[in-house]
Structure 1
Amino acid sequence: MPKLVDHDERRAQIIDALLRTAADTGLHAVTMRSVAVEAGISVRLVQYYFDTKEQLLLAAVNRLTTRMGERVRDRVRAVGPAPTPRDIVEAVLLEAVPTDEESRVFHLVHTEYAVLSVTDPALGGRDFLAAPDEMEGFLVGQLEAAQRSGATDPRLDARQEAAVLLAASAGLGLSVLLGQRTPEDAIAALRYHLGRLFPGS
Protein backbone atom coordinates (compact mmCIF):
# COMPACT_ATOMS: atom_id res chain seq x y z
CA MET A 1 0.00 0.00 0.00
CA PRO A 2 1.51 3.39 -0.98
CA LYS A 3 2.45 5.72 1.82
CA LEU A 4 0.02 8.60 2.32
CA VAL A 5 1.57 12.02 1.82
CA ASP A 6 1.20 14.57 4.62
CA HIS A 7 0.71 17.71 2.56
CA ASP A 8 1.30 20.10 5.47
CA GLU A 9 4.56 18.31 6.25
CA ARG A 10 5.60 18.49 2.59
CA ARG A 11 4.84 22.21 2.40
CA ALA A 12 6.84 22.76 5.59
CA GLN A 13 9.75 20.76 4.10
CA ILE A 14 9.77 23.03 1.04
CA ILE A 15 9.53 26.22 3.09
CA ASP A 16 12.37 25.07 5.36
CA ALA A 17 14.49 24.37 2.28
CA LEU A 18 13.82 27.89 1.02
CA LEU A 19 14.83 29.38 4.37
CA ARG A 20 18.08 27.42 4.49
CA THR A 21 18.88 28.48 0.93
CA ALA A 22 18.01 32.12 1.61
CA ALA A 23 20.16 32.14 4.75
CA ASP A 24 23.13 30.93 2.68
CA THR A 25 22.76 32.81 -0.62
CA GLY A 26 20.25 35.61 0.00
CA LEU A 27 16.58 35.70 -0.88
CA HIS A 28 17.21 37.36 -4.24
CA ALA A 29 19.22 34.33 -5.41
CA VAL A 30 16.62 31.72 -4.44
CA THR A 31 14.99 29.83 -7.31
CA MET A 32 12.44 27.05 -7.44
CA ARG A 33 15.25 24.79 -8.62
CA SER A 34 17.59 25.69 -5.75
CA VAL A 35 14.79 25.04 -3.27
CA ALA A 36 14.05 21.69 -4.89
CA VAL A 37 17.71 20.67 -4.70
CA GLU A 38 17.92 21.70 -1.03
CA ALA A 39 14.70 19.80 -0.22
CA GLY A 40 15.82 16.72 -2.18
CA ILE A 41 12.71 16.71 -4.38
CA SER A 42 11.84 17.62 -7.96
CA VAL A 43 11.09 21.12 -9.20
CA ARG A 44 7.73 19.80 -10.37
CA LEU A 45 6.86 18.80 -6.81
CA VAL A 46 7.77 22.25 -5.51
CA GLN A 47 5.51 23.74 -8.18
CA TYR A 48 2.71 21.38 -7.19
CA TYR A 49 2.56 23.08 -3.79
CA PHE A 50 3.56 26.58 -4.87
CA ASP A 51 2.63 27.81 -8.34
CA THR A 52 5.14 30.65 -8.28
CA LYS A 53 8.27 31.69 -6.47
CA GLU A 54 6.30 34.65 -5.07
CA GLN A 55 3.76 32.31 -3.44
CA LEU A 56 6.59 30.32 -1.90
CA LEU A 57 8.32 33.45 -0.59
CA LEU A 58 5.14 34.78 0.98
CA ALA A 59 4.41 31.40 2.60
CA ALA A 60 7.91 31.42 4.08
CA VAL A 61 7.56 34.95 5.44
CA ASN A 62 4.14 34.13 6.93
CA ARG A 63 5.58 31.05 8.62
CA LEU A 64 8.44 33.09 10.05
CA THR A 65 5.98 35.70 11.33
CA THR A 66 3.92 33.00 13.04
CA ARG A 67 7.04 31.55 14.63
CA MET A 68 8.13 34.99 15.81
CA GLY A 69 4.77 35.39 17.56
CA GLU A 70 5.32 32.05 19.29
CA ARG A 71 8.76 33.17 20.46
CA VAL A 72 7.31 36.40 21.88
CA ARG A 73 4.70 34.40 23.78
CA ASP A 74 7.44 32.12 25.12
CA ARG A 75 9.34 35.19 26.37
CA VAL A 76 6.22 36.55 28.09
CA ARG A 77 5.46 33.18 29.73
CA ALA A 78 9.04 33.02 31.01
CA VAL A 79 8.46 36.26 32.98
CA GLY A 80 5.86 34.60 35.20
CA PRO A 81 2.09 34.40 35.69
CA ALA A 82 1.43 38.16 35.82
CA PRO A 83 3.52 39.99 33.19
CA THR A 84 3.32 43.78 33.25
CA PRO A 85 2.83 45.91 30.12
CA ARG A 86 6.55 46.65 30.21
CA ASP A 87 7.34 42.93 30.30
CA ILE A 88 5.16 42.39 27.23
CA VAL A 89 6.54 45.39 25.33
CA GLU A 90 10.09 44.26 26.11
CA ALA A 91 9.34 40.72 24.90
CA VAL A 92 8.11 42.10 21.57
CA LEU A 93 11.07 44.43 21.09
CA LEU A 94 13.76 41.93 22.11
CA GLU A 95 12.47 39.50 19.50
CA ALA A 96 13.54 42.08 16.89
CA VAL A 97 17.18 41.49 17.84
CA PRO A 98 18.87 38.51 16.13
CA THR A 99 20.31 36.54 19.04
CA ASP A 100 20.38 33.00 17.61
CA GLU A 101 20.28 31.28 14.23
CA GLU A 102 16.47 31.11 14.06
CA SER A 103 16.03 34.81 14.75
CA ARG A 104 18.94 35.69 12.43
CA VAL A 105 17.24 33.84 9.56
CA PHE A 106 13.92 35.50 10.39
CA HIS A 107 15.33 39.01 10.25
CA LEU A 108 17.52 38.35 7.23
CA VAL A 109 14.67 36.90 5.15
CA HIS A 110 12.07 39.35 6.44
CA THR A 111 14.28 42.36 5.68
CA GLU A 112 15.18 41.09 2.21
CA TYR A 113 11.53 40.37 1.46
CA ALA A 114 10.52 43.88 2.52
CA VAL A 115 13.17 45.45 0.27
CA LEU A 116 12.26 43.25 -2.71
CA SER A 117 8.54 44.02 -2.27
CA VAL A 118 9.22 47.73 -2.82
CA THR A 119 9.94 47.08 -6.51
CA ASP A 120 7.96 43.86 -7.03
CA PRO A 121 4.18 44.30 -6.53
CA ALA A 122 3.73 40.52 -6.62
CA LEU A 123 5.48 40.33 -3.23
CA GLY A 124 3.30 42.91 -1.48
CA GLY A 125 0.98 40.38 0.12
CA ARG A 126 -1.75 41.70 2.42
CA ASP A 127 -0.65 39.55 5.34
CA PHE A 128 2.91 40.85 5.09
CA LEU A 129 1.82 44.48 4.89
CA ALA A 130 -0.72 44.15 7.72
CA ALA A 131 1.66 42.59 10.26
CA PRO A 132 3.50 45.81 11.26
CA ASP A 133 0.19 47.66 11.70
CA GLU A 134 -1.13 44.87 13.92
CA MET A 135 2.04 44.92 16.02
CA GLU A 136 1.85 48.69 16.39
CA GLY A 137 -1.76 48.45 17.52
CA PHE A 138 -0.81 45.75 20.03
CA LEU A 139 1.94 47.95 21.50
CA VAL A 140 -0.42 50.91 21.69
CA GLY A 141 -2.74 48.79 23.82
CA GLN A 142 0.09 47.82 26.17
CA LEU A 143 1.28 51.41 26.51
CA GLU A 144 -2.24 52.63 27.24
CA ALA A 145 -2.58 49.91 29.90
CA ALA A 146 0.69 51.12 31.41
CA GLN A 147 -0.63 54.70 31.43
CA ARG A 148 -3.80 53.63 33.23
CA SER A 149 -1.77 51.81 35.89
CA GLY A 150 0.61 54.73 36.37
CA ALA A 151 3.62 52.80 35.03
CA THR A 152 4.30 55.43 32.37
CA ASP A 153 3.51 59.09 31.77
CA PRO A 154 -0.20 59.54 30.94
CA ARG A 155 0.67 62.55 28.78
CA LEU A 156 2.61 60.47 26.28
CA ASP A 157 1.09 59.77 22.86
CA ALA A 158 0.89 55.97 22.95
CA ARG A 159 0.60 55.62 19.18
CA GLN A 160 3.64 57.75 18.48
CA GLU A 161 5.63 55.95 21.17
CA ALA A 162 4.69 52.59 19.67
CA ALA A 163 5.85 53.73 16.23
CA VAL A 164 9.18 54.92 17.65
CA LEU A 165 9.68 51.68 19.60
CA LEU A 166 9.11 49.52 16.52
CA ALA A 167 11.40 51.68 14.39
CA ALA A 168 14.12 51.60 17.03
CA SER A 169 13.95 47.84 17.48
CA ALA A 170 13.97 47.22 13.71
CA GLY A 171 16.95 49.54 13.27
CA LEU A 172 18.88 47.93 16.10
CA GLY A 173 18.09 44.47 14.73
CA LEU A 174 19.41 45.49 11.31
CA SER A 175 22.57 46.91 12.87
CA VAL A 176 23.19 43.49 14.46
CA LEU A 177 22.72 41.76 11.10
CA LEU A 178 25.22 44.18 9.56
CA GLY A 179 27.74 43.59 12.35
CA GLN A 180 27.64 47.20 13.54
CA ARG A 181 26.87 46.17 17.10
CA THR A 182 26.50 43.00 19.12
CA PRO A 183 23.12 41.59 20.15
CA GLU A 184 24.03 42.45 23.75
CA ASP A 185 24.60 46.10 22.83
CA ALA A 186 21.31 46.26 20.93
CA ILE A 187 19.42 44.74 23.87
CA ALA A 188 21.08 47.18 26.27
CA ALA A 189 19.98 50.11 24.09
CA LEU A 190 16.38 48.88 24.00
CA ARG A 191 16.30 48.34 27.75
CA TYR A 192 17.81 51.79 28.29
CA HIS A 193 14.96 53.37 26.37
CA LEU A 194 12.35 51.21 28.10
CA GLY A 195 13.79 52.30 31.45
CA ARG A 196 13.06 55.91 30.51
CA LEU A 197 9.59 55.03 29.20
CA PHE A 198 8.71 52.97 32.29
CA PRO A 199 10.52 54.71 35.17
CA GLY A 200 10.59 52.74 38.36
CA SER A 201 9.75 49.42 36.74
Structure 2
Amino acid sequence: MPRQVDHDRRRHQIAEAVWRLAARGGLEDVTLRQVATEAGVSARLLQYYFGTRDELLLGALEILNDDAEQRARERLAMLGDAPGMHAVVRGVLLELLPLDAERRNRHLVYAAYFVRFLADPALAKVARAAPPALENLVAGLIAQGQGLGQVSRDVDAEAEAAFLVAGADGIQATVLLGQRTPEEAVALIDHQLARVFTVTVRS
Protein backbone atom coordinates (compact mmCIF):
# COMPACT_ATOMS: atom_id res chain seq x y z
CA MET A 1 0.00 0.00 0.00
CA PRO A 2 2.73 2.58 0.82
CA ARG A 3 4.28 1.91 -2.62
CA GLN A 4 1.01 2.85 -4.34
CA VAL A 5 0.76 6.07 -2.32
CA ASP A 6 4.30 6.93 -3.38
CA HIS A 7 3.44 6.30 -7.04
CA ASP A 8 0.46 8.63 -6.77
CA ARG A 9 2.62 11.32 -5.20
CA ARG A 10 5.21 10.99 -7.97
CA ARG A 11 2.57 11.22 -10.69
CA HIS A 12 1.17 14.32 -9.02
CA GLN A 13 4.65 15.84 -8.81
CA ILE A 14 5.14 15.36 -12.55
CA ALA A 15 1.64 16.69 -13.32
CA GLU A 16 2.38 19.82 -11.30
CA ALA A 17 5.47 20.40 -13.42
CA VAL A 18 3.30 20.26 -16.56
CA TRP A 19 0.90 22.77 -15.00
CA ARG A 20 3.69 25.20 -14.13
CA LEU A 21 5.11 25.05 -17.65
CA ALA A 22 1.63 25.46 -19.12
CA ALA A 23 0.86 28.50 -16.98
CA ARG A 24 4.20 30.14 -17.78
CA GLY A 25 4.32 29.69 -21.53
CA GLY A 26 1.70 27.31 -22.90
CA LEU A 27 2.05 23.73 -24.04
CA GLU A 28 2.87 24.05 -27.73
CA ASP A 29 6.62 23.58 -27.37
CA VAL A 30 6.83 21.69 -24.09
CA THR A 31 8.99 18.56 -24.33
CA LEU A 32 9.31 15.50 -22.12
CA ARG A 33 12.81 16.62 -21.20
CA GLN A 34 11.57 20.04 -20.08
CA VAL A 35 8.88 18.45 -17.93
CA ALA A 36 11.40 16.02 -16.43
CA THR A 37 13.74 18.90 -15.56
CA GLU A 38 10.89 20.96 -14.08
CA ALA A 39 9.73 17.98 -12.01
CA GLY A 40 13.23 17.05 -10.90
CA VAL A 41 13.00 13.50 -12.26
CA SER A 42 14.68 11.60 -15.06
CA ALA A 43 13.11 11.42 -18.51
CA ARG A 44 13.06 7.63 -18.13
CA LEU A 45 11.03 7.88 -14.91
CA LEU A 46 8.64 10.34 -16.52
CA GLN A 47 8.02 7.95 -19.40
CA TYR A 48 7.56 5.09 -16.93
CA TYR A 49 4.69 6.94 -15.27
CA PHE A 50 3.06 8.54 -18.31
CA GLY A 51 4.48 7.13 -21.56
CA THR A 52 4.36 9.46 -24.57
CA ARG A 53 4.11 13.24 -24.61
CA ASP A 54 0.40 13.14 -25.45
CA GLU A 55 -0.23 10.61 -22.70
CA LEU A 56 1.63 12.89 -20.30
CA LEU A 57 -0.46 15.92 -21.25
CA LEU A 58 -3.72 14.01 -20.94
CA GLY A 59 -2.64 12.36 -17.70
CA ALA A 60 -1.68 15.69 -16.16
CA LEU A 61 -5.04 17.13 -17.24
CA GLU A 62 -6.87 14.21 -15.63
CA ILE A 63 -5.04 14.80 -12.35
CA LEU A 64 -5.83 18.52 -12.57
CA ASN A 65 -9.52 17.71 -13.06
CA ASP A 66 -9.47 15.32 -10.10
CA ASP A 67 -7.89 17.99 -7.89
CA ALA A 68 -10.41 20.58 -9.07
CA GLU A 69 -13.30 18.24 -8.32
CA GLN A 70 -11.98 17.55 -4.83
CA ARG A 71 -11.59 21.26 -4.05
CA ALA A 72 -15.08 21.93 -5.42
CA ARG A 73 -16.53 19.23 -3.18
CA GLU A 74 -14.80 20.77 -0.18
CA ARG A 75 -16.16 24.24 -0.95
CA LEU A 76 -19.66 22.90 -1.58
CA ALA A 77 -19.53 21.02 1.72
CA MET A 78 -18.99 24.38 3.42
CA LEU A 79 -22.49 25.42 2.29
CA GLY A 80 -23.99 23.25 5.03
CA ASP A 81 -26.25 20.22 5.20
CA ALA A 82 -29.22 21.58 3.19
CA PRO A 83 -28.08 24.59 1.16
CA GLY A 84 -30.81 24.49 -1.50
CA MET A 85 -30.36 24.02 -5.23
CA HIS A 86 -29.74 27.73 -5.88
CA ALA A 87 -26.71 27.73 -3.58
CA VAL A 88 -25.41 24.45 -4.98
CA VAL A 89 -25.65 25.57 -8.62
CA ARG A 90 -24.02 28.88 -7.67
CA GLY A 91 -21.18 27.00 -6.00
CA VAL A 92 -20.65 24.83 -9.07
CA LEU A 93 -20.54 27.84 -11.41
CA LEU A 94 -18.17 29.77 -9.18
CA GLU A 95 -15.67 26.95 -9.58
CA LEU A 96 -15.41 28.06 -13.21
CA LEU A 97 -14.25 31.54 -12.20
CA PRO A 98 -10.69 32.55 -11.17
CA LEU A 99 -11.78 33.94 -7.82
CA ASP A 100 -8.59 33.09 -5.93
CA ALA A 101 -4.97 32.14 -6.67
CA GLU A 102 -5.73 28.42 -6.80
CA ARG A 103 -8.57 28.74 -9.29
CA ARG A 104 -6.74 31.40 -11.30
CA ASN A 105 -3.71 29.15 -11.76
CA ARG A 106 -5.94 26.22 -12.66
CA HIS A 107 -7.80 28.18 -15.32
CA LEU A 108 -4.54 29.49 -16.80
CA VAL A 109 -3.52 25.86 -17.25
CA TYR A 110 -6.89 25.03 -18.79
CA ALA A 111 -6.41 27.93 -21.23
CA ALA A 112 -3.07 26.48 -22.30
CA TYR A 113 -4.72 23.10 -22.85
CA PHE A 114 -7.48 24.73 -24.90
CA VAL A 115 -4.93 26.22 -27.30
CA ARG A 116 -3.13 22.88 -27.48
CA PHE A 117 -6.37 21.04 -28.29
CA LEU A 118 -7.07 23.49 -31.12
CA ALA A 119 -3.63 22.83 -32.61
CA ASP A 120 -3.51 19.05 -32.19
CA PRO A 121 -6.26 17.01 -33.94
CA ALA A 122 -5.51 13.88 -31.91
CA LEU A 123 -5.87 15.65 -28.58
CA ALA A 124 -8.88 17.60 -29.85
CA LYS A 125 -10.60 14.30 -30.64
CA VAL A 126 -10.16 13.19 -27.03
CA ALA A 127 -11.55 16.50 -25.77
CA ARG A 128 -14.60 16.32 -28.05
CA ALA A 129 -15.32 12.77 -26.94
CA ALA A 130 -15.55 13.81 -23.28
CA PRO A 131 -19.15 13.89 -22.04
CA PRO A 132 -20.63 17.29 -21.07
CA ALA A 133 -20.52 16.28 -17.42
CA LEU A 134 -20.72 19.77 -15.98
CA GLU A 135 -23.75 20.75 -18.08
CA ASN A 136 -25.43 17.50 -17.10
CA LEU A 137 -24.72 18.17 -13.43
CA VAL A 138 -26.16 21.68 -13.54
CA ALA A 139 -29.18 20.49 -15.54
CA GLY A 140 -29.83 17.82 -12.92
CA LEU A 141 -29.60 20.35 -10.11
CA ILE A 142 -32.00 22.72 -11.86
CA ALA A 143 -34.41 19.81 -12.39
CA GLN A 144 -34.19 19.04 -8.67
CA GLY A 145 -34.95 22.70 -8.04
CA GLN A 146 -38.08 22.32 -10.14
CA GLY A 147 -39.14 19.35 -8.06
CA LEU A 148 -38.66 21.42 -4.90
CA GLY A 149 -40.62 24.39 -6.25
CA GLN A 150 -37.50 26.58 -6.47
CA VAL A 151 -37.51 26.75 -10.28
CA SER A 152 -40.49 27.21 -12.59
CA ARG A 153 -41.65 24.11 -14.45
CA ASP A 154 -41.51 26.22 -17.62
CA VAL A 155 -37.71 26.40 -17.44
CA ASP A 156 -35.80 24.15 -19.83
CA ALA A 157 -33.23 22.70 -17.42
CA GLU A 158 -30.85 21.44 -20.11
CA ALA A 159 -30.89 24.70 -22.09
CA GLU A 160 -30.39 26.81 -18.98
CA ALA A 161 -27.53 24.59 -17.83
CA ALA A 162 -25.79 24.91 -21.20
CA PHE A 163 -26.22 28.70 -21.10
CA LEU A 164 -25.01 29.06 -17.52
CA VAL A 165 -21.93 26.91 -18.01
CA ALA A 166 -21.03 28.62 -21.31
CA GLY A 167 -21.60 32.01 -19.71
CA ALA A 168 -19.37 31.20 -16.77
CA ASP A 169 -16.68 29.99 -19.18
CA GLY A 170 -16.86 33.27 -21.08
CA ILE A 171 -16.80 35.38 -17.92
CA GLN A 172 -13.76 33.39 -16.79
CA ALA A 173 -11.73 34.70 -19.72
CA THR A 174 -12.66 38.33 -19.00
CA VAL A 175 -11.50 37.99 -15.40
CA LEU A 176 -8.20 36.40 -16.45
CA LEU A 177 -7.65 39.31 -18.85
CA GLY A 178 -8.50 41.88 -16.18
CA GLN A 179 -11.56 43.14 -18.04
CA ARG A 180 -13.78 42.30 -15.07
CA THR A 181 -13.09 42.00 -11.38
CA PRO A 182 -13.94 38.77 -9.56
CA GLU A 183 -16.71 40.66 -7.78
CA GLU A 184 -18.26 41.77 -11.08
CA ALA A 185 -18.06 38.21 -12.37
CA VAL A 186 -19.89 36.85 -9.32
CA ALA A 187 -22.54 39.56 -9.71
CA LEU A 188 -23.19 38.43 -13.29
CA ILE A 189 -23.59 34.83 -12.19
CA ASP A 190 -25.97 35.90 -9.43
CA HIS A 191 -28.02 37.96 -11.92
CA GLN A 192 -28.56 34.94 -14.16
CA LEU A 193 -29.34 32.59 -11.28
CA ALA A 194 -31.94 35.04 -9.95
CA ARG A 195 -33.66 34.70 -13.32
CA VAL A 196 -33.70 30.89 -13.12
CA PHE A 197 -34.37 30.27 -9.43
CA THR A 198 -37.68 31.61 -8.20
CA VAL A 199 -40.44 30.37 -5.94
CA THR A 200 -43.02 31.86 -8.32
CA VAL A 201 -44.38 28.93 -10.31
CA ARG A 202 -46.95 29.49 -13.02
CA SER A 203 -50.19 27.59 -12.60
TM-score by length of 1: 0.89
| Bigger mean CA deviation after superposition, 85-94 or 28-37 | 28-37
Q: What are the residue-to-residue correspondences of 1:130-169 with 2, within 5 Å?
A: 130-131=130-131, 133-169=132-168
Contact 2:117 2:127 in 1 (8 A): no
Amino acid aligned to 2:118: V
Other-structure match for 1:37? 37
Other-structure match for 2:198? 199
CA distance in 1, matches of 2:5, 2:169: 39
Contact 1:22 1:29 in 2 (8 A): no
Other-structure match for 1:172? 171
Contact 2:89 2:141 in 1 (8 A): yes
Q: Deviations over 1:124-170 (max 9, x none)?
A: 46477425x11111111111111121111110111100000000000
CA distance in 1, matches of 2:12, 2:125: 19
CA distance in 2, matches of 1:129, 1:172: 24
Runs of 4 or more consecutive aligned structure 1 residues displaced over 3 Å after TM superposition: 124-129
Q: For the aligned residues, what is the CA RMSD?
A: 2.3
Other-structure match for 1:68? 68
Other-structure match for 1:46? 46
Other-structure match for 1:114? 114
Contact 1:32 1:53 in 2 (8 A): yes
Change (3 A) 1:95 1:152: same
| Bigger mean CA deviation after superposition, 38-47 or 94-103 | 38-47
CA distance in 2, matches of 1:78, 1:180: 29
How many residues matched?
198
CA distance in 2, matches of 1:92, 1:171: 15
Amino acid aligned to 1:105: N
Change (3 A) 1:129 1:109: farther
Q: Give structure 2 stretches of 5+ with no counterpart.
A: none
| Bigger mean CA deviation after superposition, 92-101 or 27-36 | 27-36
CA distance in 2, matches of 1:7, 1:58: 17
1:94 aligns with 2:94: yes
Contact 2:22 2:112 in 1 (8 A): no
CA distance in 2, matches of 1:27, 1:187: 30
Change (3 A) 1:7 1:34: same
SS at 1:6's partner residue? helix
CA distance in 2, matches of 1:4, 1:151: 45
State the identity %: 43
TM-score by length of 2: 0.88
Change (3 A) 1:128 1:19: farther
Amino acid aligned to 1:56: L
Q: Deviations over 1:38-63 (max 9, x none)?
A: 11122222122222111111111111
Q: Deviations over 1:104-125 (max 9, x none)?
A: 2221222322332233133146
Amino acid aligned to 2:160: E
CA distance in 2, matches of 1:191, 1:5: 41
Contact 1:58 1:125 in 2 (8 A): no
Contact 2:95 2:103 in 1 (8 A): yes
CA distance in 1, matches of 2:119, 2:38: 27
Amino acid aligned to 2:48: Y
CA distance in 1, matches of 2:105, 2:31: 17
